[in-house]
């Protein structure tokens, strides 16, 4: 028996990825069935990520017409269809690959998404962000506080412990916002000007008399309703900037 004949025989399965999962694929694999060669019987999660798709983007896998989980062992000749996360479609008869969507929506954003974090806060969403977070800190905080990771770095979503995350495609903040609102079905959850855009704390109403010494004369004259951030002590009121912000938000949404 030759040395060549002792080598493990490579198996071949056939994959197709659907909808936005194609964003992660090289051009020759987009929207088409393609072969994938492998040795042994790896769990199906491994080839999906080896092809380039983070597991957090996947919610349904069909192998030979049967729904399977990430633990399924890939077999020679398998036909695999991989679908993205369905946040607002009931697919309960098949195997969903994570727990129910996080209905108390809270995010943590990587260091490249500071502008998006500010916009999300303007809309009232809990958006944790610091420009000095390391990847392991983002992952730990995501797990501890049930936060969805938003990132431009798909490698961050390849971590096995990550359960909820989304890879932002666009570099434009307005388009990034539209991605997030559509991906997580959020328009009905928008509550503008509920949070501090600087530190993410929920604003609290405060009597004018308690902060009048901190206000400019024209502000004292024309405005009577104020909120304060319990985190950074920043004062908010519906001044001339308020209508401009509303117009910006309408463009984003």
What average pLDDT values come out for the chain (253 residues) when binned by 10 residues? 57 95 94 95 96 93 94 96 70 56 80 95 95 96 95 93 93 93 87 92 96 94 94 90 72 61
Q: The pTM is what?
A: 0.75
**Residue 94 has what pLDDT?**
58
Closest CA to 52 of 22, 77, 72: 22
**Residue 208 has what pLDDT?**
95
Determine whether 95 is exposed, middle or buried from the number of CB atoms within 10 Å of its CB (0-12, 13-18, 19+).
middle
Angle, vertex CA 125, rays to CA 140 and CA 229, nearest 5: 95
Rg of the chain over Cα atoms, rounded to whole angstroms, equals 24
**Residue 172 has what pLDDT?**
94
**Residue 245 has what pLDDT?**
72
Q: pLDDT tens digit string along 39-49?
A: 999 999 999 99
Rounded Cα gap, residues 139 and 141, in angstroms: 6
**Residue 89 has what pLDDT?**
44
Q: Which residues pair with 107 in a beta bridge?
A: 127, 148
**Residue 8 has what pLDDT?**
59
């Amino acid at each position: 028996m030759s040395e060549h004949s002792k080598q493990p025989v490579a198996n071949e399965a056939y994959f197709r990825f659907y909808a936005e999962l194609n964003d992660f694929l090289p051009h020759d694999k987009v929207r088409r069935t393609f072969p994938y060669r492998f040795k042994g019987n790896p769990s199906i999660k491994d080839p999906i990520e080896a092809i380039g798709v983070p597991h957090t983007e996947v919610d349904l896998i069909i192998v030979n017409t049967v729904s399977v989980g990430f633990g399924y062992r890939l077999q020679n000749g398998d036909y695999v269809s991989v679908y993205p996360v369905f946040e607002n479609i009931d697919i309960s008869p098949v195997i969903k690959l994570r727990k129910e969507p996080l209905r108390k929506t809270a995010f943590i954003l990587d260091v490249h998404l500071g502008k998006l974090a500010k916009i999300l806060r303007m809309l009232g969403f809990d958006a944790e962000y610091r420009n000095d977070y390391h990847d392991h800190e983002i992952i730990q905080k995501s797990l501890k506080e049930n936060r969805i990771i938003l990132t431009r770095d798909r490698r961050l979503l390849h971590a096995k412990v990550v359960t909820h995350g989304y890879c932002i495609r666009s570099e434009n903040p307005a388009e990034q916002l539209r991605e997030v609102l559509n991906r997580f079905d959020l328009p009905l959850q928008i509550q503008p000007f509920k949070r501090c855009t600087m530190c993410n704390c929920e604003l609290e109403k405060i009597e004018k008399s308690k902060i009048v010494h901190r206000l400019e004369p024209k502000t004292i004259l024309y405005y009577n309703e104020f909120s304060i951030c319990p985190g950074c002590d920043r004062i908010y009121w519906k001044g001339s900037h308020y209508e401009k912000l509303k117009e910006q938000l309408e463009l984003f949404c």
